[in-house]
A and B are shown apart, each in its own frame.
Chain A
Amino acid sequence: MEKSEGVQWWGGRGAVQSFAAMTASITAAAGGRTSVGKKVAVAATGLIGVGFVFAHMVGNLKVFLGREPINHYGEFLRDMGEPIFPRSFVLWTLRLVLISAVVIHITLTYQLMQQSRRARPIGYEYTEPVRKNPAARTMRWGGTALLLFIVFHLADFTWGVHPDFQRGEVYHNLITGFTRVPVTVIYLAAMFALAMHLYHGTWSVTQTLGVNQARWDRTIRRGATALAVVIAGGYSIVPLAVLFRLVK
């Protein structure tokens, strides 16, 4: 990978290590608490994720403005904060916050999942759920699928495993990336998983942070549906536009 121009990120290892230590201590602090305390931390880190996927989606839509605007936007993400901060500093800070959020989100969810597993050592012979809400029941599987997708997606578009990858050429990488139909299919499937996760996740956040009330429940559910559709939809129209050659 070409390092000369992209990552002249200073702070070096020390900053990464202190960030890792901070993440570990937040996880341990929340982990030493009650199940509800852990859930609050999962909800808070989930909200960071919602903020990220929304911003990323809006950024992607710049592809419809053409090659120059989206490449310029990609460059802006690295320049952000200059000249107060060095190049890439703000971007890397945001990335570390995001990585920590993902680590905390997954670690605590795993601990809560283990608590629930232990809570029913002998299962039922037969169960017939009354609430058949697939979004609520697939949070763990959907979340795992999303994690795998994130790794794939980073490898493809950020680390440059992509066969025709040109660093800094966001527009080119995007168009050539989505002309590969299997990638588009994986991407669209992941966006479906994202929509499901976002729908139950955002509604659940209001429940876990204690802002939900019976009289607002329907409104919050509609809001969660709208958010899931807008975000997953916003992402999905980009590869679909490439597939149908609306952007070239």
Chain B
Amino acid sequence: MNLTLKVWRQKSANDKGAMVAYEARDISPDMSFLEMLDVVNEELTLKGEDPIAFDSDCREGICGMCGCVINGQAHGPDHGATVCQLHMRKFKDGDTITIEPWRARAFPVVRDLVVNRSALDQIVQAGGFVSVSTGSAPEANSAPVGQAVAETALDAAACIGCGACVAACPNASAMLFMSAKVMHLGVLPQGQPERYDRVSEMVETHDRLGFGSCTNIGECSAVCPAEIPMDVISFLNRDLIRSRAGRGMKRA
């Protein structure tokens, strides 16, 4: 396959950046999207040019490191998959493919397609944890968890923190990411002590970091490689209302 790539090139955080066109020749349809970029980069290196910088790690869709907007969709045209799991057979010979970094104020571009996603870590630091007593491990059956609850928690915990939800959101909101954490911990007995403080702290941090406000469009869930459903956001909203009501009661 021969393709034309239009890639966002930006030397550093302060550089203005621009879309640059490249030709990708002799690409096998069995390659992953990142392998295709590797081939292009080898050619660029041989020519003495700077290779296109992009993030990747496990290349099997579980680490959440890779991610870019391909032809206007976060992680590209394949759904429920990350860029590393996207294969070139999804494209046709002669296609022009646009490749852009995640765009959000909270995700500044480091270089080319690499963005700084530490804002997501800061949201987790604000409340995405549980307090446990140190010492010997507790008796496994001392905190029983029903099957349905365990499944719900695990579905929410499937989030790999790639940031595609923010990238795809017309409001650049991190609600789906944050809600997945709130639900994952909020339905389990271990997450109860901090449950209502967690949601409050996380939402306040989310707003302070410069993410936008959710308008329930659902684009986040549609591009999510872990297919986190929209109702996690409903769960967060409910917990925030309860949190605020609880604080009001305490003050009264």
Contact = CB atoms under 8 A, between A and B. Distances in A.
B171 A116 contact: yes
Most chain A C-beta atoms within 10 Å of own C-beta, residue among B98, B103, B234: B234
Given A119-B210, A207-B216, A217-B231, A130 B172 contact: no
B106 interface: yes
A127 interface: yes
- The main secondary structure of chain B at its interface with chain A is mixed
Nearest to B239: A210
Residues of A in contact with B, size category: 35 or more
Given A34-B207, A137-B170, A130 B223 contact: yes
B53 interface: no
Interface stretch (A36-44, A99-107, A166-174): A36-44
Contacts of A129: 72, 219
Residues of B in contact with A, size category: 35 or more
Given A209-B237, A214-B229, A133 B217 contact: yes
A39 B210 contact: no
Given A37-B240, A119-B171, A120-B104, A136 B217 contact: yes
Contacts of A131: 217-219, 222
A210 B216 contact: no
Nearest to B233: A207
A36 B104 CA distance: 19
Given A36-B203, A124-B100, A210 B215 contact: no
Interface in B142-189: 168, 170-173
Given A130-B219, A208-B237, A214-B229, A121 B105 contact: yes
A125 interface: yes
Interface string B16-49: 0001000000000000000000000000000000
B110 interface: no
Interface string A211-240: 111100100000000000000000000000
Contacts of B230: 207, 212, 217
B211 interface: yes
B235 interface: yes
A211 B234 contact: yes
A247 to B, nearest CB: 39
5 contacts: A116-B173, A121-B105, A209-B237, A209-B241, A210-B238
Q: Which 3 A-B pairs have the closest CB atoms?
A: A210-B238, A128-B72, A119-B212
